[in-house]
């Protein structure tokens, strides 16, 4: 049982300060497969500018750590990630990519 004095509920010693309507954000990139989860990477700055760097430095080591071999296919999570420069990087690194998510989204009502 907890007893408190009358009109003491809003006393500063009885309240916990909170931040409402935001207070910051953090953007993360990660990958997963049936074999497990890959590295989680914090994105600093503009996501589009770092996407190719993340694919080269985080995706490939994650695939190796999960012992994925060479038969896996990378699926983009957003059609905007299929830019020509990104597609060229994936080809250069011999990463098979499926961007069918963009066409699936048009089929969903």
Q: What is the pLDDT of residues 35-56, one digit of tens each?
A: 999 999 988 877 666 888 888 8
If 0-12 CB within 10 Å is exposed, 13-18 middle and 19+ buried, where does residue 43 land? middle
**Reported pTM:** 0.60
The mean per-residue pLDDT over the stretch 87-102 comes to: 80
Q: Average pLDDT, whole number, for the chain?
A: 79
Residue 66 pLDDT class (50, 70, 90 cuts): very high
Q: Could you state, in order of their start, the residue ranges of all structural domains in the chain?
A: 26-107
Q: Is 57 helix (H, G, I), strand (E, B) or coil?
A: helix
């Amino acid at each position: 049982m907890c007893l408190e004095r009358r009109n003491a509920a809003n006393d500063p010693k009885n309240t916990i300060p909170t931040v409402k309507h935001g207070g910051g954000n953090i953007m993360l990139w990660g990958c997963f497969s049936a074999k497990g989860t890959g590295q989680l990477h914090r994105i600093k700055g503009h996501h589009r500018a770092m996407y190719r760097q993340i694919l080269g430095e985080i995706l490939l080591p994650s695939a190796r750590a999960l012992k994925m071999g060479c038969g896996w296919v990378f699926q983009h999570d957003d059609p905007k990630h299929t830019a020509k420069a990104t597609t060229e990087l994936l080809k250069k690194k011999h990463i098979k990519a499926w961007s069918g998510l963009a066409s699936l989204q048009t089929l969903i009502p």
